[in-house]
A = this chain, B = another copy of it.
């Protein structure tokens, strides 16, 4: 066990500040990682503020981790010192339930272990995330990061990336499909890039006219302003798939009406109570409303490999660790294009 520098919150009221946390010594199946970059996710903020309840303090968030391997356990053969690796939202799971057996560890029926705020079965207490110098993770939950992509801009792939990739693949988005991505933020901008790379005709659906040009630069073929009811009517019944990335309470009804018969809208952002839905919208066209949670380790690796092949990364703004509280303020105002990434060198200095 070693003590390492980290940034976290002592309570739901406190700002994030430097503190010390313990990392376990490397076990036979472990990989020790020197953290280079860590993305800033909405979930970090929700956890720090205890918005979902259940936050254990001190809370060290961060689950979009990129780093270099500095040590491996004696049973680790697939990683070596110096490898560029990533760690996402989970660091362990039961490995025996149906979901784990199907490479869907994120849905582990005995409860996956989140990278932060989970039960730490090695040291007791709870897990600490990536806003820190190092992390020690079981090899089965470590990802290989292609060396040809910018590692800073790869960090948010570990959450924002896989969260949008997984549903696009699960619902089999393919060449020629008309796919709508609702909401242009950290998740939405990756949804546009991935759907485009998968060959779909991508429509960015946003309430904000000001995002029209940026959306097209990201790969949207068309932009639909959700406040414009004439435009919404023109697109009614026309989408093969909708990826809904809105992270707050909202009204699903206008979006559901955009779906073709038998098509699905998948929600990935709003772990929140929603506005009342009208049953007729699903009944009259046999439509589906679904949700999807991050992704499994195997498909996260597939996504990273795909990003390497297609040279896809996130659009980011770099910050120093000391700027984290201001960054949180800006994330909450959706004032970031599209993800903050912490340069962890700043913590180590």
Q: Which residues of A contact B (CB under 8 A)?
A: 99, 104, 107, 109, 170, 237, 261, 264, 267-293
Q: A267: which B residues are within 8 A, CB to CB?
A: 279, 282-283
* Contact of B291 with A261 in the complex, beta carbons under 8 Å: no
A289, B252: Cα distance in complex, Å: 13
With A109-B237, A282-B267, A285-B107: A261-B292 Cβ-Cβ less than 8 Å: no
Residue ID in chain B nearest A281 by CB atoms:
B291
Partner of A290, one of B170, B287, B292: B287
* Contact of A104 with B261 in the complex, beta carbons under 8 Å: yes
Q: A277: which B residues are within 8 A, CB to CB?
A: 273-274, 276-277
* Contact of B276 with A276 in the complex, beta carbons under 8 Å: yes
Q: A285: which B residues are within 8 A, CB to CB?
A: 107, 291, 293
* Contact of A286 with B237 in the complex, beta carbons under 8 Å: no
Max chain B CB contacts within 10 Å: which of A104, A170, A264, A280?
A280
Extra contacts, 14 of them, besides A271-B283, A286-B291 (Cβ < 8 A), are: A107-B285, A264-B288, A268-B283, A270-B283, A272-B278, A274-B276, A274-B277, A281-B291, A282-B291, A283-B292, A286-B292, A286-B293, A287-B291, A289-B290
- Identical copies in the complex: 2
Kindly provide the distance from the CB of A102 to the nearest chain B CB, expressed in whole angstroms.
Answer: 9
A220, B271: Cα distance in complex, Å: 34
Residue ID in chain B nearest A261 by CB atoms:
B107
A286, B268: Cα distance in complex, Å: 10
A306, B106: Cα distance in complex, Å: 41
Residue ID in chain B nearest A288 by CB atoms:
B290
Q: A274: which B residues are within 8 A, CB to CB?
A: 276-279
Q: A268: which B residues are within 8 A, CB to CB?
A: 283
A109, B261: Cα distance in complex, Å: 9
A293, B286: Cα distance in complex, Å: 7
* Contact of B279 with A271 in the complex, beta carbons under 8 Å: yes
Q: A279: which B residues are within 8 A, CB to CB?
A: 267, 269-274, 291
Residue ID in chain B nearest A166 by CB atoms:
B286
Residue ID in chain B nearest A244 by CB atoms:
B279
A286, B107: Cα distance in complex, Å: 8
Residue ID in chain B nearest A285 by CB atoms:
B107
Q: A264: which B residues are within 8 A, CB to CB?
A: 288
* Contact of B275 with A271 in the complex, beta carbons under 8 Å: no
A228, B292: Cα distance in complex, Å: 29
A276, B250: Cα distance in complex, Å: 10
Q: A278: which B residues are within 8 A, CB to CB?
A: 272-274
Residue ID in chain B nearest A275 by CB atoms:
B276
A276, B251: Cα distance in complex, Å: 10
* Contact of B272 with A99 in the complex, beta carbons under 8 Å: no
With A99-B261, A261-B104: A280-B272 Cβ-Cβ less than 8 Å: yes
Max chain B CB contacts within 10 Å: which of A99, A281, A287, A291?
A291
Kindly provide the distance from the CB of A230 to the nearest chain B CB, expressed in whole angstroms.
Answer: 20
Partner of A286, one of B170, B272, B275, B281: B170
* Contact of A284 with B261 in the complex, beta carbons under 8 Å: no
* Contact of A290 with B286 in the complex, beta carbons under 8 Å: yes
A288, B289: Cα distance in complex, Å: 6
* Contact of A271 with B289 in the complex, beta carbons under 8 Å: no
